[in-house]
Amino acid sequence: MASSLLESFQSFRTILCVCPCCGQIRRLSDLKLRYAGKAPSTWLDKLDEKSLALDDKEALFEEKEAKMREAAAERGRKKVDVILRKCMAKDLACLKFNPYDIKTIMHPVDYVVFDGLNDGEMNKIVFLSKSSASPPLVTLRNQIQKSIENKAYDWKVARVDITGKISYE
């Protein structure tokens, strides 16, 4: 049966036709046939319809999924502050600073807070330290406090090149 079908297709190359519109001679195998009326529906047409419907449902699902993921991410972002405060030392957690604004130094002060840094507008810089019984550390912190009060500080930018050489601007 397969060989007879193949022979039929091969014979279409030998059958010649004249186009009624342009008068050119064509092979039957080269023709692109069109059907004037509506062609009867086949199982392949139904499969194509179901495939298109499935594609539409997938697109709708992906859109809903993206919205759900964004909503979940937003809920997570809102919880970050609470979670960070639970992980922080209790004496820091009670302060009203954004946890992302607090940077650890540890010596001679414990923390520096760049208040408002993550909100886009820094208001002030705050030094935080736990009280200490160590006389040298207390003296050092007092010297830092006096330097700030007397405005005895400077701003310099240090550049370190690839060889380790430091230059100041």
Determine the pLDDT at residue 158. 92
Q: For residue 88, how many other CB atoms are within 10 A of its CB?
A: 14
Counting beta carbons within 10 angstroms of the beta carbon of residue 24, is it exposed (0 to 12), middle (13 to 18) or buried (19 or more)?
exposed
Cβ 128 vs Cβ 97: under 8 Å: no
DSSP assignment string, 135-166: HHHHHHHHHHHHHHHTT------EEE-TTS-E
Q: pTM, whole model, 2 decimals?
A: 0.48
Q: Is the dihedral of CA 124, 130, 135, 137 positive or negative?
A: negative
| Helix residue ranges, H only, 13-134 | 43-87, 90-93
Determine the pLDDT at residue 68. 96
**With a cut of 70, which residues of the chain have pLDDT below it?**
1-2
Q: Give the span between the Cα atoms of 113 and 101, in whole angstroms.
A: 5
Amino acid letter, 167: S
Amino acid letter, 155: W
Query: 164 φ, ψ to 5°?
Result: 100, 0
DSSP bridge partners of 127? 112
DSSP bridge partners of 114? 125
Amino acid letter, 50: K
